[in-house]
Structure 1
Amino acid sequence: MIKDKKTYLQIHPDDNVLVALQDLPQGTVIVWNNSSFALLEHVAAKHKFTIHPLSKDDEIYMYGVLVGKVNFDLETGSLISTLNLRHAADDFKLSKRNTSWNKPDVSVFKDRTFNGFHRSNGTVGTANYWVVIPLVFCENRNVLTLKTAFEEKLGYKIKANDYSSEVDELIRLYHSGADVSQIIAQDLSASVGQTSDHRLFANVDGIKFLNHEMGCGGTRMDSDALCGLLAGYVTHPNVAGATILSLGCQHAQASILQAEIAKRDPLFDKPLYIFEQQKEGTEKELMQKAVKSTFAGMMEANRYTRKPASLDKLCIGLECGGSDGFSGISANPALGYLSDMLVTLGGSVILAEFPELCGVEQELSDRCVDEATADKFMELMRVYNAKAEADGSGFYMNPSPGNIRDGLITDAIKSAGAAKKGGTSPVTAVIDYPELANKPGLNLLCTPGNDVESTTAEVGAGANIVLFTTGLGTPTGNPITPVVKLSTNTKTFEKMSDIIDLNCGTIIEGDESIEEAAHRILDYVIQVASGEVTPKAVLLGQDDFIPWRRGVSL
Structure 2
Amino acid sequence: MKQKVLKVHPHDNVLVALQDLEKEETVEYNGTVYTMQEKIPAKHKFAVAPMKEGDAIYMYGVLVGRAQRTISAGSRIAVENVHHAANGYELAAQRKTTWQPPDVSRWQQQTFMGYHRANGSVGTANYWLVIPLVFCENRNVEVLKEALLPELGYARPGKYAAFTRSLAAKQRAGVGSQQILETVYTEDTAGAQNSRVFENVDGIKFLTHDGGCGGIRQDAQTLCGLLAGYITHANVAGATVLSLGCQNAQISMLQDEINKRDPGFSKPLYILDQQQTGAESQLITDAIRQTFAGLMIANQCTRQPAPLSKLCIGLECGGSDGFSGISANPAIGYTSDLLTALGGSVILAEFPELCGVEQEMSDRCRNVDDATRFIQLMRTYQQRAEEAGSGFDMNPSPGNIKDGLITDAIKSAGAAKKGGTSPVAAVLDYPEMVRQPGLNLLCTPGNDVESTTAEVGSGANVVLFTTGLGTPTGNPIAPVIKLSSNTKLYQRMHDIIDINTGTIIDGEETIAEAGERILDYVIQVASGAITAKSVLNGQDDFIPWKRGVSL
Say if 2:392 is the partner of 1:395. yes
AA in 2 matched with 1:363: E
Deviation string 1:41-65 (CA, Å, 9 cap, x unpaired) is 0000000000000010100000000
Q: Is the 8 A contact 1:117 1:305 kept in 2?
A: yes
- Structure 1 position 442 matched with structure 2 position 439: yes
1:370 partner amino acid: N
Q: Percent identity?
A: 63
Could you say which residue in structure 2 is the equivalent of 1:106?
104
Q: How many pairs were matched up?
A: 550
**TM-score w.r.t. length of structure 1:** 0.98
Q: How has the CA–CA distance of structure 1 residues 428 and 260 changed in structure 2, closer, same or farther, with 3 Å as cutoff? A: same
Secondary structure at the residue paired with 1:408? Answer: coil
**Which of 131, 134, 147 pairs up with 1:133?**
131
Q: Is the 8 A contact 1:158 1:194 kept in 2?
A: no
Query: Alpha carbons of 1:192 and 1:54: their partners in 2 closer, same or farther (altered >3 Å)?
Result: farther
How many angstroms apart in 1 are the aligned matches of 2:256 and 2:182?
57
Normalised TM-score (structure 2): 0.98
Closer, same or farther: CA 318–90 of 1 in aligned 2, 3 Å = same
Equivalent residues in 2 for 1:356-375, closer than 5 Å: 356-375=353-372
Aligned to 2:315: 318
* Amino acid paired to 1:31: E
Is 1:483–2:486 an aligned residue pair? no
Q: Per the alignment, in what secondary structure is the counterpart of residue 68 of structure 1?
A: strand
2:161–2:190: 8 Å Cα contact kept in structure 1?
no
2:415 aligned residue: 418
Query: Could you list the runs of 5+ residues in structure 1 that have no partner in the other structure?
Result: none
Given that 1:193 and 1:539 are in contact with CA atoms closer than 8 Å, whether structure 2 keeps it comes out as no
Does residue 331 in structure 1 map to residue 328 in structure 2? yes
**SS of alignment partner, residue 261 of structure 1:** helix
How far apart are residue 171 of structure 1 and its match?
Answer: 1.0
Q: Distance in 1 between matches of 2:193 and 2:95?
A: 53
CA shift, 1:181, in A, is 1.3
1:514 aligns with 2:511: yes
Residue of structure 2 equivalent to 1:261:
258
Match of 2:373 in 1: 376
Whether contact under 8 Å (1:195, 1:539) holds in the other structure is no
In structure 2, relative to structure 1, the CA distance for the partners of 1:423 and 1:134 (3 Å cut) is same
Corresponding position of 1:85: 82
The C-alpha deviation readout for 1:346-390, integer Å capped at 9, x for no partner, is: 000000000000000000000000111000000000000110111
Task: Report the equivalent of 1:297.
Answer: 294
Secondary structure of 1:420's counterpart equals helix
Cα deviation for residue 37 of structure 1 reads 2.9
Q: Which residue of 1 aligns with 2:63?
A: 66
Q: CA deviation at 1:324?
A: 0.3
CA contact (8 A) 1:194 1:539 kept: no
Q: Secondary structure of 1:275's match?
A: strand
Match of 2:533 in 1: 536
SS at 1:108 equivalent: helix
Q: Give the CA RMSD over aligned residues.
A: 1.2
SS of residue matched to 1:11:
coil
CA–CA separation in structure 2 for the residues paired with 1:252 and 1:174: 50
Q: How far apart, CA to CA, are the structure 1 residues paired with 2:190 and 2:86? A: 44
Deviates more, 1:503-512 or 1:33-42: 33-42
What's the offset of the Cα at 1:196? Answer: 2.1
Asked if 1:206 is matched to 2:203, the reply is yes
Residue aligned with 1:15, SS: coil
What is the rounded CA distance, in whole Å, between the counterparts of 1:61 and 1:250 in structure 2? 51
Aligned to 2:216: 219
Counterpart residue identity of residue 307, structure 2: S
CA distance in 1, matches of 2:265, 2:50: 63
Q: Of the candidates 117, 122, 125, which is equivalent to residue 124 of structure 1? A: 122
Q: In the alignment, what sits opposite 1:26? A: 23
| Alpha-carbon separation, structure 2, partners of 1:485 and 1:194 | 28
Structure 2: distance between partners of 1:180 and 1:518: 49
In structure 1, how many angstroms separate the alpha carbons of the residues matched to 2:546 and 2:262? 24
- Matches of 2:180 and 2:190, distance apart in 1: 24
Aligned residue type for 2:385 = A
User: Contact 1:335 / 1:518 at 8 angstroms: preserved in 2?
Assistant: yes
Residues 159 and 189, structure 2, Cα contact 8 Å, conserved in 1: no
Secondary structure of 1:498's match?
A: coil
Q: Alpha carbons of 1:194 and 1:528: their partners in 2 closer, same or farther (altered >3 Å)?
A: farther
* Matching residue of 1:51: 48
User: In 1, distance between residues paired with 2:174 and 2:403?
Assistant: 45
Distance 2:28 2:481 in 1: 39
Cα 1:90/1:194, change in 2 over 3 Å: farther
Helix, strand or coil at the partner of 1:279: helix
One-letter amino acid matched to 1:463: A
Does the C-alpha gap of structure 1 residues 197 and 507 become closer, same or farther in structure 2, counting only changes over 3 Å? farther
- 1:45-98 per-residue CA deviation (whole Å, 9 max, x = no partner) reads 000000000010100000000000010011110111100010000000000200
C-alpha distance after superposition, 1:204-232 (max 9, x if no partner): 11111111011111111111100000000
Partners in 1 of 2:507 and 2:189 — Cα distance?
33
For 2:277, give the aligned amino acid. Answer: E
- Structure 2 residues not aligned, in runs of 5+: none
Other-structure match for 1:189: 186
1:286 aligns with 2:283: yes
Query: Which residue is 2:143 aligned to?
Result: 145
SS at match of 1:76: coil
1:456-481 C-alpha deviation (Å, 9 max, x unpaired): 00000000000000000011100000
Distance 1:241 1:33 in 2: 58
Q: Which residue of 1 aligns with 2:339?
A: 342
CA displacement at 1:195 relative to structure 2: 8.0
Matches of 1:360 and 1:37, distance apart in 2: 29
Cα distance in 2 for residues equivalent to 1:32 and 1:467: 33
Q: Shift of the alpha carbon at 1:193?
A: 11
Aligned equivalents of 1:347, 1:480: Cα separation in 2: 19
Q: What is the aligned partner in structure 1 of residue 113 from structure 2? A: 115
User: d(CA) in 2 for partners of 1:523 and 1:513?
Assistant: 16
Partners of 1:117 and 1:304 within 8 A in 2: yes
What pairs with 1:3-14 in structure 2 (closer than 5 Å)?
Answer: 5-14=2-11
Inter-partner Cα distance in structure 1 for 2:256 and 2:510? 47
Between the aligned partners of 1:534 and 1:303, the Cα distance in structure 2 is 22
Answer whether contact 1:194 1:540 (CA < 8 A) is retained. Answer: no
1:35 to partner: Cα distance: 3.5
Residue 32 (structure 1) shift? 3.9
In structure 2, what is the Cα distance between the partners aligned to 1:524 and 1:99? 29
**What's the secondary structure of 1:356's corresponding residue?**
helix
Q: Distance in 2 between matches of 1:57 and 1:73?
A: 9
Instruction: Measure how far apart 1:182 and its partner are.
Output: 1.4
Q: Distance in 2 between matches of 1:262 and 1:305?
A: 25
**Residue 26 of structure 2 aligns to which amino acid in structure 1?**
V
Where in structure 1 do 4 or more consecutive aligned residues deviate above 6 Å?
A: none
Identify if the C-alpha distance between structure 1 residues 538 and 255 changes in structure 2 by more than 3 Å, giving closer, same or farther: same
Structure-2 change in CA distance of 1:539 and 1:192 (3 Å):
farther
Specify the code of the residue in structure 2 equivalent to 1:76. A
